[in-house]
A and B are shown apart, each in its own frame.
Chain A
Amino acid sequence: MVTTDEKGPLTAKKKSVIIRSCDGDEFLVSESAAVLSTSLKKILEEKEDRLIHLSDIDNKTLAMVIAYLSTHADDGLSDDLKRSFDQEFVSGKEFDVLKYLVLATDTLQVTCLCYTVAKKMADIMKNKLVEWVRREFDIQNDYTPEAEAEIRRLDAWAWDDRQLEDD
């Protein structure tokens, strides 16, 4: 049973919400952290319910996003500390993990994190081969060999230093 003062004005500053991932895990998050996501903020403005179910974000990705939101909602941390947290946040993460993160941050509209993750993905993509990018993005090459050759002929300048070149 929820005690009455939990929703009362006296404890307004410490309001929390529960966010549930698509695989059923629940996370208790302070409202000040949750509203850093534009999407969550809108949901909270529209409904009384303190439980938000996200049908397309898995628990691992959600845990990472919430760690980010909680850090950025912490008034006790300096901007410098938050910046270094951001840098470490994406460093060393697998491309696959970043894909889920960029999708989640796009859905949740966490602009700063979406920017950081997208930038990191672009950095990883540099100097990678075409087949690598196709594999990591799960892209089926639906060009005919003739069509592909035609593109290579037209924009030959785009591949002249072997960036995003074939194996």
Chain B
Amino acid sequence: MPSVDRISSLTDGVLCHILSFLPTKISVATSILARRWRFLWAYVPSLDFDCRNHDTDTKFAHIVNRVLLLRGVQSIITFRLRYDDIDCSEYELDTWIATAILRNVQKLDLCLAYFGELPQCLFTCKTLVDLRLHFRNCIPSNGVVSLPSLKKLHIYGVENGLRRMLSGCLVLEELIIDQIDEDDLDFYDVIISSPTITRLIMISFQIYSDESYSHEYGVKINVPALRYLQVYDCSYEHMLLSPLTSLIEAEIYLNTYSMEVDYSIYTRCMFKFLDSLCNVKCLKLSSSDEVCI
């Protein structure tokens, strides 16, 4: 092996790259290593705050403010924030998110207990590539959506704004929708439509209703470029899939048979759903209960 000296010549850039995979808290803790490391964390391009990891007297909000103020570089590539405290200030949250947006953030991951409305600048951010919003009612009811670089969107729950949101994401490739339930959607008006999405993952897409089997479908899905589909624990009887001619792989988890509904109708809906996957090259089916196929 070459001499040890070469390792101590790891550039600040490489060290910051390594630190970028650590939570900001640990990154700041490296300041104790030596003088060279005192403010190295201020040059790390990603920020990752989790209020669950803080139990000191210093208020979480003060910590976030300190880290943001001491940054040595303009850009923030990744901004991850988990703030479960329901007493968190909307004003502070708005400031932090807007700061990340103004610093050309590419990956934004927010998990908040409560939030009024996200800053409008988030929905017109030109640099966002990956957006994860882990809380309800995350899409504002009105306003322009234009996310020209967004490739990956992960949302919890879906509202009427989804259709508008998708229409503003012209290069979106992957959509993950998690934990949807009836309370959050206008039942007959959920449309997932995008000409560019190639990966779609839907988790716990449950719609409880004792009517409507012969009525309109609850969720219309029109994603003609789709190559990968994963559906986990969803109400297939309420879904209408447009033809998926490009589909290569699908993973379907069947466990939604509810005693409230007529079994024959349920299986018919299931067949119809599976029928729409007829071009798929690799289909994985799994089930938790005795669903007969």
Contact = CB atoms under 8 A, between A and B. Distances in A.
Contacts of A119: 21
Contacts of B29: 155, 158-159, 163-164
* Interface size band for A: 35 or more
B259 interface: no
Contacts of B17: 102, 106, 114-115, 118
A143 B35 contact: yes
A134 to B, nearest CB: 6
Which of the listed residues B11, B32, B37, B57 has the most CB atoms from chain A within 10 Å of its own CB?
B32
Contacts of A164: 26, 29-30, 32
Contacts of A161: 53, 55
Contact of B54 (A115, A125, A143, A157): A157
Contacts of A140: 34
A10 interface: no
Interface in A8-55: 22
A139 B55 contact: no
A56 B6 contact: yes
Interface residues of B, number: 36
Contact of A133 (B13, B33, B38): B33
A122 interface: yes
Nearest to A124: B18
B4 A138 contact: yes
Given A118-B14, A133-B30, A58 B1 contact: yes
B1 A100 contact: yes
Contact of B56 (A103, A118, A160): A160
A40 B95 CA distance: 44
A164 B35 CA distance: 16
Contacts of B32: 130, 143, 148, 151-152, 159, 164
Nearest to B10: A103
Contacts of A156: 56-58
A102 B34 CA distance: 21
A125 B26 contact: yes
B25 interface: yes
Nearest to B4: A138
B18 to A, nearest CB: 5
Contacts of A134: 33-34
A141 B18 contact: no
Interface string A103-135: 100100000001100110111011000100110
A82 interface: no
A158 B25 CA distance: 5
Contacts of B35: 142-143
B2 A137 contact: no
B292 interface: no
B19 interface: yes
Contacts of B28: 155, 158
Contact of B31 (A22, A99, A158): A158
Contacts of B25: 157-158, 163
Contacts of B54: 157, 160
A83 interface: no
A151 B21 contact: no
A139 B37 contact: yes
Contacts of B291: none
A161 B10 CA distance: 28
B7 A138 contact: yes
8 contacts: A100-B1, A138-B7, A141-B33, A151-B31, A152-B32, A160-B56, A161-B53, A164-B29
Interface of B: 1-2, 4, 6-8, 10-11, 13-14, 17-22, 25-26, 28-38, 53-58, 63
* Pairs A-B, 9 closest by C-beta atoms: A122-B21, A164-B29, A158-B29, A158-B28, A157-B56, A157-B58, A160-B56, A119-B21, A118-B18
Given A100-B2, A118-B21, A158-B28, 7 more contacts: A103-B10, A103-B14, A121-B21, A141-B33, A156-B58, A163-B26, A164-B26
Interface of A: 22, 56, 58, 60, 99-100, 102-103, 106, 114-115, 118-119, 121-123, 125-126, 130, 133-134, 137-143, 148, 151-152, 155-161, 163-164
